[in-house]
Chains A and B, each alone.
Chain A
Amino acid sequence: MPGLSQYAVWIVSFLLEACVVVCSLYRREFLRYLPLNIYMIGAAIQGGGLYFCIHTFGFASSKYVYYYYYSDSLLYVLMYFVIIQFYQQVFKEMKVGSQIRTAAALILAITAFFSYMVVHQNKDHLTTRFVVELEQNLNFVGVVLMYLLWGAILKLRETRTRLIQLVLALGIYFSATAGIYALRNLFPGLEMSLLRWLPPLVGTWLPLAWAYTLVRVPESAHLAPSRLTMKH
Chain B
Amino acid sequence: MMPALICVISVAAFLQFFVLHCRSILASSRKMVLSPRVHEVTGVEGATVAVSDFGRLLQLVKLCPERADDRLEIRAVGTYYNLLGALGSVARLAFASVASWTEIERRNCSYFAAVALDRRISHSRDLFTQQVAENL
Contacts and interface: CB of A to CB of B under 8 A. Distances in A.
Interface in B1-15: 3-4, 6-7, 9-11, 13-14
Nearest to A178: B10
Interface stretch (A5-13, A104-112, A180-188): A180-188
B111 to A, nearest CB: 15
Interface residues of B, number: 23
B69 A172 contact: no
Contacts of A169: 21
B83 interface: no
What class of interface size applies to chain A in its complex with B? 35 or more
B17 A172 contact: yes
Interface in A196-232: 208-209, 212, 215-217, 221, 223, 227-230
Nearest to B19: A230
A143 B72 contact: no
B18 interface: yes
Given A161-B24, A165-B24, A223-B28, A176 B14 contact: yes
Contact of B3 (A136, A146, A227): A136
Best-surrounded residue of B4, B24, B69, B72 (most CB of chain A within 10 A) = B24
A223 B27 contact: yes
A217 B25 CA distance: 10
Interface string A135-170: 011011001001100100000000001001100110
Contact of A168 (B7, B9, B21, B101): B21
Nearest to B5: A182
B24 A228 contact: yes
A91 B7 CA distance: 30
A146 B10 CA distance: 12
Nearest to A132: B3
B73 interface: yes
B17 A171 contact: yes
Contact of B4 (A176, A182, A209, A228): A182
B20 interface: yes
Nearest to B72: A212
Contact of B6 (A147, A168, A172, A182): A182
B23 A175 contact: no
Contacts of B7: 179, 182-183, 186
A164 B24 CA distance: 8
A216 B13 contact: no
A140 B10 contact: yes
A168 B17 CA distance: 6
Contacts of B28: 161, 217, 221, 223
A77 to B, nearest CB: 21
Contacts of A183: 3, 7
Contacts of A136: 3, 6
Nearest to B11: A179
A216 B76 CA distance: 15
Given A176-B10, A186-B7, 8 more contacts: A140-B6, A143-B10, A161-B24, A164-B24, A168-B21, A175-B17, A176-B14, A183-B7
18 contacts: A136-B3, A146-B17, A171-B13, A174-B13, A178-B6, A179-B10, A179-B14, A182-B6, A182-B10, A185-B3, A186-B4, A209-B72, A212-B72, A216-B69, A223-B24, A223-B28, A230-B19, A230-B101
